[in-house]
């Protein structure tokens, strides 16, 4: 599996560190809504198909990436910088 890092180009899986589901939204830290916290901490959509997830290019430029990858085929469909995606709202579910 190769992940095309926007900085470094297509690089081997072994250079990347997986950081999981990117569609989770953390409740306001002041929130005491137990249901919302439980959902954030423990529940995942876990789709069979396109999955939005964070990776870090830990063995390269160390940038955090937002990757869309098909969990049925491992095909990487889109890669963006996580910070930019979050800032323009694209990182939200």
Partner 1 sequence: MAEYSALSLLKNALTGNRDWKPAWRKPEPRPSYDVIIIGGGGHGLATAYYLAKEHGITNVAVLEKGWLGSGNIGRNTTIVRSNYLLPESVRFYDFSVKLWENLSHELNYNVMFSQRGILNLAHSPSQADDYIRRGNAMLHGGGDGVWLTPAEIARKVPGVDLSRSARFPVIGGLLQPRAGTARHDAVAWGYARAADRRGVDIVENCEVTGFLRDGEKIVGVATTRGEIRARKVAVAVAGSTSRLMGMAGIDRFPIESHVLQAFVSEAIKPFVDCVVTFGGGHLYMSQSDKGGLVFGGDLDGYNSYAQRGNLPLVEEVMGEMVAMFPAVARLRLLRSWGGIMDMSMDGSPIIAKGPLPGMYLNCGWCYGGFKATPASGFSFAWTIAKDEPHAVNAPFTLSRFERGAVIDEKGQGPTPKLH
Determine, following the binding rule CB under 8 A, whether residue 12 of this chain makes contact with partner 1.
yes
Nearest CA to 56 out of 69, 65, 43 is that of: 65
Q: Under a CB-based contact definition with an 8 Å cutoff, are residues 2 and 10 in contact?
A: yes
Distance of alpha carbon 11 from alpha carbon 36, whole angstroms: 37
Residue choice 51, 57, 66, 79 for contact with partner 1 (CB under 8 A): 51
The binder of partner 1 chosen from 62, 74, 83, 92 (CB under 8 A): 74
The residue ranges that bind partner 1 (CB under 8 A) are 1, 12-14, 18, 20-21, 34, 38-39, 41-48, 51, 53, 69, 71-74
């Amino acid at each position: 599996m190769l992940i095309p890092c926007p900085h470094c180009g297509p690089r081997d899986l072994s250079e990347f560190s997986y950081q999981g589901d990117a569609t989770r939204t953390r409740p306001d830290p002041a929130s005491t809504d137990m249901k919302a916290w439980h959902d954030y901490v423990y529940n995942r959509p876990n789709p069979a198909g396109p999955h939005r997830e964070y990776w870090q290019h830990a063995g390269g430029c160390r940038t955090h990436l937002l990757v869309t990858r098909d969990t049925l085929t491992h095909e990487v469909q889109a890669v963006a910088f996580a910070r930019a995606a979050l800032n323009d709202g694209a990182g939200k579910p």
